[in-house]
Amino acid sequence: MKHLQTLKLIDAVNKAGSIRKAAEDMHITSSALNRRILGFEEEFGAPIFERLHGGVRLNPAGELLIEHIRGQMADLERVRSQVADLSGLRRGHVSIACSQALQPYFMPVQIADYRAEHPGVSFSVQVRDREAAEEDLRAFQSDLALVFEPVHLGDFDVLLSVEQPVFAVMAKDHPLVGKRDLRLRDCLSFPHVVPPKRIGIRFLLDLAVSRMSQKLEPIAEADSFEFMRHYVQHEQAVGFQFPIGLNLAADDRLVFRPLPKSDVTYGNLTLMQMKGRTLSVASARFANQLAAALNDRAGAPDQVPD
């Protein structure tokens, strides 16, 4: 495992961009870390870092190596998970990048349900926008991603995709609450709060207003849906969110109203992994559970990935 530790150190230096900073993170001296890297480069037969003023960065050979390192780490974790599964221990670790809409309600329930059956499995949950989630998959920082409106689908294996309508979110005393057929144009006539362009729901809103004479003129732009839900209680403003991120039954301070698909295209909530990657036993089983739960919510036939 000594060679594997060296690979972990190289990955740490790459992430930190500095031997000194990586040494602090890995709790060794910078001189010892530098010797390990120089020794590896000599054995490898080529330098892998460019030494810069104030730091280091991978050269082309290093870029190829780091891709190999991350793949090797992921494969090792998969084998460990399989070995544990053979013994009946059902151990392992699952890392998932997800849209923030999944964070308050859906994901905690899913993880708790999974761990009720497999208490030896631990989780890492990274809240990411759609492009950041894709980068996590490419860098093997996450096993799975569950995000709205992914950008580069060709790079990934899609395990499941389900539609979610866009909901208007407003205080219970908002003038639009009593409107029978709520439209996007009605919402835009009031102050509105929207997420930034990198968030999937903003992409759908921008697409919708591109076909309208009205435009988005937000009074606030925030990357937090929690901020939006609180803000609309202080002004007669309208926010927008997917229902999977809302407590539709229990929140008596807010009203949630779906917008018609003819106004705003439904968002595609997509469960995916890196193309060609073999998931660990724990990650594959959790993907199955997520797919089944999403299908249940959508009222669709089961389409659980193999």
**Helix (H/G/I), strand (E/B), else coil: 55:** strand
Under CATH, domain 167-265 is a member of which superfamily?
Periplasmic binding protein-like II (3.40.190.10)
pLDDT at 91: 75
Spatial separation of the C-alpha atoms in residues 13 and 24, rounded to whole Å: 10
Residue 208 confidence class, pLDDT cut points 50, 70, 90: very high
Summarize the confidence of residues 199-219 as an average pLDDT.
Answer: 94
Residue 303 confidence class, pLDDT cut points 50, 70, 90: very low
Of 22, 96, 32, the residue nearest 279 (C-alpha) = 96
- Distances, alpha carbon 70 to alpha carbons 12, 23, 47, 190, 257, in Å: 11, 19, 18, 49, 44
Domain with CATH 1.10.10.10 in the chain: 2-65
CA atoms within 13 A on the CB side of 203: 14
Summarize the confidence of residues 166-172 as an average pLDDT.
Answer: 95
The vertex-182 CA angle with 187 and 101, nearest 5°, equals: 65
Please give the model's pTM, rounded to 2 decimal places. 0.71
**Helix (H/G/I), strand (E/B), else coil: 196:** coil
Q: What is the pLDDT of residues 40-91, one digit of tens each?
A: 888 888 888 888 887 888 888 888 888 887 777 777 776 776 676 655 446 7
pLDDT at 304: 33
Mean pLDDT, the chain, integer? 88
Summarize the confidence of residues 98-120 as an average pLDDT.
Answer: 94
Beta bridge partners of 167: 241, 258
| Cα diameter, the chain | 73
Q: What is the pLDDT of residues 5-25, one digit of tens each?
A: 787 888 888 888 888 888 888
Residue 301 confidence class, pLDDT cut points 50, 70, 90: very low
Domain with CATH 3.40.190.10 in the chain: 90-160+269-298, 167-265
Which CATH architecture does the domain made up of 90-160+269-298 adopt?
A: 3-Layer(aba) Sandwich (3.40)
End-to-end C-alpha distance for the chain, whole angstroms: 32
Summarize the confidence of residues 249-262 as an average pLDDT.
Answer: 88
**Cβ pair 258, 179 in contact under 8 A:** no
**Cβ pair 169, 247 in contact under 8 A:** no
Identity of the highest mean pLDDT range in 66-80, 89-103, 116-130: 116-130
Tokens of 163: 């539609």
Of 222, 224, 228, 245, the residue nearest 187 (C-alpha) = 228
Which of 3.30.1370.100, 1.10.10.10, 3.10.150.10, 3.40.50.2000 is the CATH number of 2-65? 1.10.10.10
Beta strand spans in 20-166 (E): 49-52, 55-58, 92-98, 121-127, 144-148, 156-164
Burial (Cβ within 10 Å: 0-12, 13-18, ≥19) of residue 39: exposed
- The answer to whether residue 113 scores a pLDDT higher than 60 is yes
